[in-house]
Amino acid sequence: MTTPDHAPAPVPRYELHCHLDGSVRPGTVADLAAEQGIALGAPAAELVVAPADCGSLTTFLTYLDVPLQVLQTPGALTRAARELVEDWSADGVVYGEVRFAPQLHGRRGMTLDDAIRAVAEGLAAGSEATGVRTGLLLCCLRHQTPDESLAVAEAALRHRGLVAGLDLAGDERRFTARPHRPAFELAHGAGLACTVHAGEAAGPRSMWEAIDDLGARRIGHGVRCTGDGALLDRLRTDRIALETCPTSNVQTGAVPGLAAHPATRLLASGLTVTVSTDTRTTSATTLGREFAALRESAGWTVEQETRVQEHAASAAFGPAALR
């Protein structure tokens, strides 16, 4: 299918912030539910695609419940990962990083290692079929214990050849990042790159914590940094990349609308801004649609998209040979 947002990209695209559980095709969710004997109670698209204005991150995250319910077998994870790579290829993406929390996929007995291998298998199959290069990130979760996060970091290191980075996700308003420092220290000690969700539901303080306590090289979202001059200087000086996700940022209430999205002025002020989808299915978007929306709402040009893609290429966690 050819649509304006699926037109050839003006420059090769790189996606750095994409959650697997939020990027499962609705048809795949329906297929997996039927295979597993799970009654959905409504068409899959109604259950997995969030409205344009959810009002909060908490509401937005409820649309991941059903995908997580069906992603509890190795086969389901492998299929979802493979199809994501196919979707990247259709979107003009030449390198994509996907993240997931393997500890959320053990309801039917999968271990962390089982889940990691299953996703990596799907990524490899998709890459072989399309030529898209991929990176895999594992998510620790703010509401879980430091020991649980440490177990995720240890699993990442056991699969160092498959895993490109470590992330911290979750409700930053209710849970601080600092308790998860041992997991991130372990990752840093092994040379594993780290990113942290911050500055999405909470403000600059959360981003300072991500940088100073967890050593984040990239910040997931980071759109609430604009009121802190010292933070902006730090982000600029250290070239800490911001993984902005415009449509998602509007849906969760992190920004009031696309026209007001700070990516435009942050890019103009010399920050390392990148653009991703966050959740391709939950947000019903692609990178093509994200850039089309920025062109329409904020007057973006090919020059701005090119700069953003250059930023993403240099900030990617995968080996240079994969980009």
DSSP H or E stretch at residue 157: helix 146-158
Q: State how far Cα 190 lies from the chain centre.
A: 22
Long-range contacts of the stretch 303-308 (C-beta < 8 A, 24+):
304/264, 304/267, 305/10, 305/11, 306/10, 306/11, 307/267, 307/273, 308/267, 308/273, 308/274, 308/275
> Which residues 6+ apart lie within 8 Å of 252 measured at CB?
54, 56, 57, 60, 200, 201
Rounded Cα gap, residues 300 and 291, in angstroms = 8
Beta strands in the chain (DSSP E): 13-15, 93-100, 133-141, 165-169, 193-198, 218-221, 241-244, 273-275
13 backbone dihedrals φ, ψ, rounded to 5°: -105, 145
Q: How far is CA 96 from CA 30, 133, 192, 243, in A?
A: 25, 6, 17, 13
Is residue 200 annotated as part of the catalytic site, yes or no? yes
Specify the 3-state DSSP secondary structure of 146.
Answer: helix
Give the number of residues written for the chain: 323
Rounded Cα gap, residues 217 and 26, in angstroms = 33
Specify the 3-state DSSP secondary structure of 196.
Answer: strand
CA angle 163, 168, 173 (to 5 degrees): 170
Instruction: Pick the catalytic residue from 200, 209, 290, 305.
Output: 200
Active-site residues, by number, are: 200
